[in-house]
Amino acid sequence: ELSLKGRDMIELDEYSPEEIQFLLDSAIEIKRKQKNGEVYQPLKGKTIGLIFEKSSTRTRVSFESGMFQLGGHALFLSKNDIQLGRGEPISDTAQVMSRYLDGLMIRTFGHDNVVNLAKYASIPVINGLSDMAHPCQVLADLQTVLEHKGKLKGLKMAFIGDGNNMAHSLLIGGAKMGMHVAVASPKGYEADASIVKLSEEIVAQTGGKITITQDPIEAAKDADVIYTDVWASMGFEEEQAQREAAFADYQVNEELVKAAKPDYLFLHCLPAHRGEEVSEGVIDGANSVIFDQAENRLHAQKALMVALMA
């Protein structure tokens, strides 16, 4: 029996394809239980702290309600309301929290903060989004594709836009599952070279493929999944105008999706800006599964918390 007890979730590269598949299968089973009205509370009496340095709708609500459904309790800890925001070291925060809680989630700017929290905490630490990675989102994304397509291996997933945290975690997660991940970004906004290299090393093992291009049509060609994200992520708001110019040819719209397979799925981590990175017709169209995807944050994170904390 595969056990992930006590592990951290900083990025999906630390997990084997079998372990990721286990989490996805578990998420699908937990979803089934919930839809059937079955009570499932393996985390009764357990607590998780949710540290937020940035805004959130999905991550906060899905972790809080998910933990409650599993029989446990979640504490929302806005960074500015805890002493961390007044300069208490992350190492002290980690060690103190480890005396009270059974798990921690952190949403922060610097990826180092996640790494350091995990280094000093004796309890599992989950990355709820950093500037580098968003693994919880990609677990939900992979679950969504698996549910709609019945498989992951061999599918082509195109990410059109900023080479940001989403691009990184999709590269790694897709590579792990043997997918062809194609990322199209304008010059100057490419995915981190070290992440591209890592994902290329992964596909050498899993039989997937990585394509990095500046051409959105090349990325979207025959794709099974078209994914995009905002042009200006949290923390980059002041670059909005400059980014709108740089990404003008990277909108996912009716014209671009003609290059994809007719039964392509449209995914977006949300929040979205209709009329910027995606046209209204595509995001609200028949191929869009954005709300299944958002829902799956709940199920995927419940599976993750059970695996790491039960």
Q: What DSSP letter does each residue of 24-54 carry, written as one string?
A: HHHHHHHHHHHHTT----TTTT-EEEEEESS
Q: Single out the catalytic residue among 7, 131, 141, 269.
A: 269
Report how far apart the first and last C-alpha atoms of the chain are (Å, whole number).
14
Does 93 interact with ligand NVA (rule: CB under 6 A)?
no
Residue 205 binding ligand CP, by CB under 6 A: no
Q: Which residues in 121-150 contact ligand CP (CB under 6 A)?
A: 129, 137
Report, in this order, helix, strand and coil percent for the chain, each rounded to 5. Answer: 50, 15, 35
- Pairing mode of beta strands 180-184, 156-160: parallel
Minimum distance from residue 164 beta carbon to ligand NVA (Å): 5
Q: Which one, of 142, 187, 162, lies nearest residue 252 by Cα? A: 162
- The whole-angstrom separation of Cα 128 and Cα 50 is 9
Which of 165, 279, 287, 301 is close enough to bind ligand NVA by CB under 6 A?
165
Cα(143)–Cα(68) distance, integer angstroms:
22
Tell me if residue 277 falls in helix, strand or coil: coil
Query: Catalytic annotation on 269?
Result: yes
- 246: contact with ligand CP by CB under 6 A: no
User: Of 60, 107, 180, 268, which is the active-site residue?
Assistant: 107
Set 60, 69, 131, 137: catalytic member: 137
Structure-block tokens of residue 236: 């980059």
Residue 266 DSSP class? E
Residue 138 per-residue DSSP state: H
Of residues 72 and 174, the one with the C-beta less far from ligand NVA = 174
Residue 126 binds ligand NVA (CB under 6 A): no
Residue 296 annotated as part of some ligand binding site: no
Partner from ligand CP, ligand NVA, none contacting 57, C-beta within 5 to 8 A by type: ligand CP
How do strand 103-107 and strand 47-52 relate by DSSP bridges?
parallel
The reply, when asked if residue 108 is annotated as ligand binding, is no
Please tell me whether 135 is known to bind a ligand: yes
> Does 259 participate in binding ligand NVA (rule CB under 6 A)?
no
- Which alpha helices (DSSP H) does 207-284 contain, by range? 216-220, 240-246, 254-257, 280-283
- The site string for ligand CP over 5-44 (x = CB under 6 A, - otherwise) reads ----------------------------------------
Q: Which of 162, 138, 154, 150 is nearest to 9 (CA)?
A: 138
* 86 is annotated as an active-site residue: no
Q: How far is the CB of 140 from ligand CP (least distance, A)?
A: 8
Query: Do 252 and 292 form a contact (C-beta atoms < 8 A)?
Result: no
Binding piece for ligand NVA, criterion CB under 6 A, among 5-13, 38-46, 161-169, 285-293: 161-169
144 is in an annotated binding site: no
Phi, psi of 71 (to 5 degrees): 95, 0
230's contact among ligand NVA, ligand CP, none, with CB below 5 to 8 A by partner kind, is ligand NVA
Chain residues binding ligand NVA by CB under 6 A are 129, 164-166, 229-230, 233-234, 269
Q: List the binding residues for L-ornithine.
A: 165, 229, 233-234
Chain residues binding ligand CP by CB under 6 A are 56-59, 129, 137, 269-270
Catalytic (active-site) positions:
107, 134, 137, 229, 269, 297
